[in-house]
Amino acid sequence: MSVGVIKRIKRGLRPYLQREPLAALMLGISSGFPYAMIGATLTTRLAQDGIDKKAVTAFSLAFLAYNFKFLWAPMVDGLRLPLLGRLGQRVSWLVFAGTLVMAAVVWLALLDPKANLMLFAVAAVAVGAAGATYDIVIDAYRIEMLKPEQLGVGSGMSQYGWRIGSVAAGSLALYVAARGGWSMGYLLCATFALPAMLTGLVL
């Protein structure tokens, strides 16, 4: 490979290796994983227990939270959190919403759908609502963090991160569940909320 080709490759990769686009990748990973938890992963878990997700209408609310997140986006944008607010509006909400997501996923992990299906459905809705709120904060933080000339690259990196987070969390849950049970799989996947929280704190 000639020196000129190598230089062109390095020049092409440079925008993606800057601090802000890499941060957008981390934000995307945390944004994508809750959707996987209430998507194919949840369907697989219920199917293993012989439960049809369609039998419980409440499960659909977990996805609807993403469609209607614009309803509480103004609150997330304008409400200053006590104590955490000292970190700044966006970072404080990143930490708060990320903690909510982790708590909701842990709650889902500790429940048995065969023992109490309705409570399990409520926990799934909580994951959806917390994940949608995390999406709101992550989107706002990413837009403010990126420089105008980085918006295109940053948006692409965020989408890559979303897909990585969604696929990785879903795969990890299934892999661990096959060996150590669903609770362990969900508990490990809760850590996928950390990249966005740590990104906000570090930057």
Tokens of 183: 């609770």
pTM over 0.85: yes
53-87, pLDDT tens digit by residue?
Answer: 666 667 777 888 888 898 999 998 889 999 888 88
Query: In this model, does residue 155 exceed pLDDT 70?
Result: yes
- Alpha-carbon span 76 to 81, nearest angstrom: 9
**9-18, 85-94, 183-192, range with the lowest pLDDT:** 9-18
- Chain centroid to CA 196: how far? 8
As separate numbers, helices (DSSP H) first and strands (DSSP E) second, the chain gives 10, 0
Give φ, ψ of 70 to 5 degrees.
-65, -20
- Alpha-carbon span 168 to 47, nearest angstrom: 21
Residue position matching structure tokens 């219920």: 46
Q: At CB < 8 A and 24+ separation, what contacts does 10-18 make?
A: 15/150, 15/153, 16/153, 16/157, 18/150
Query: In this model, does residue 12 exceed pLDDT 80?
Result: no
Question: Cβ distance 124 to 108 under 8 Å?
Answer: yes
18-29, pLDDT tens digit by residue?
Answer: 889 999 999 999
Band of the pLDDT at 2, cuts 50, 70, 90?
A: low
- Alpha-carbon span 93 to 95, nearest angstrom: 5
115 burial level (CB within 10 Å; 0-12, 13-18, 19+): exposed
